[in-house]
Amino acid sequence: MLLVVDAGNTNVVFAVHDGATWRGSWRVSMQPQRTSDEYAVWLMTLLQAAGLSVNDVSQAVIGTVVPAALYHLRLLCRQYFQTEPLIASSRLDWGFRIALDNPGEVGVDRLLNGLAAHRIYGGPLIVIDFGTATTFDVVDVDGAYCGGVIAPGINLSVEALHKAAARLPRIGVGRPTGGLVIGRDTNSAMRSGVFWGYIGLVEGIVERIRQEFGAPMKVLATGGLAPLFSEGTSVFEHIDPELTINGLRFLAGRNPEPHLTNDKDLITEG
């Protein structure tokens, strides 16, 4: 079985795939200094609840945009699963061209989304990921990664609005009651601005990308807030919450599995 670790700026997702289906998926908040032992105590309990054990895992792959978290995640795989994880990077075999001036700059989460999106849905397409940042990634008909757009994530925007304006409260992200645009109090006005403002951002950027690309494009959304925003727009053709972890699974299938060589590898960064 394959252990997949998707470590983002907000959450870390662990998932196990048995070659045919996902056997379980769990998430924990991102704390870069969380130790391998802390991860293990939490993860082994969840594996047991799913009828799995550490001995079932024979391979691991890690994708992260938080370099400080990588050491402990790698150590988790070595110490508790006795496996050397494949680390996602632009230097691996992705099966497509990264058509950027500096491929090493792009976040691996964006490459993983592009890999899975093209593999599952074909291209050309736009992948929108509602995470800590909201990213728009462009993949051509052959699967090449062509770049994209990075915008502030909606939760960052809400927090910035609350902190910068003394009389504005902290609000939750959600669709305004009744779907109305005109708010009749401060809270509803803020909710409307956040929700419909982001809908406008998404629809506007998608339209501009399509015009610049010059061909019809599918639009795919992922990330925890994708279902919420789908209530306010018809621009998404598919919503896929497992896109990034499937990208990690496909990447692991394309590249040689690293191997532990001796006991020293279990306790050093390597």
Q: What is the DSSP letter of 150?
A: E
Residue numbers annotated as active site: 109
Q: Which residues contact 98 (CB under 8 A, 6 or more apart)?
A: 90, 106, 111, 144, 145
Q: Is 145 helix (H, G, I), strand (E, B) or coil?
A: strand
Distance CA 4, CA 27 (A): 12
Yes or no: say if 64 and 262 are a contact pair by the CB < 8 Å rule. Answer: no
CA 141 to chain centre: 22
Place of tokens 């508790």: 80
| Alpha helices (H) in 25-133, listed in sequence order | 36-49, 67-81, 108-121
Other beta carbons within 10 angstroms of residue 229's beta carbon come to: 24
Distance CA 208, CA 4 (A): 34
Residue 68 Cα distances to 243, 245, 260, angstroms: 24, 20, 22
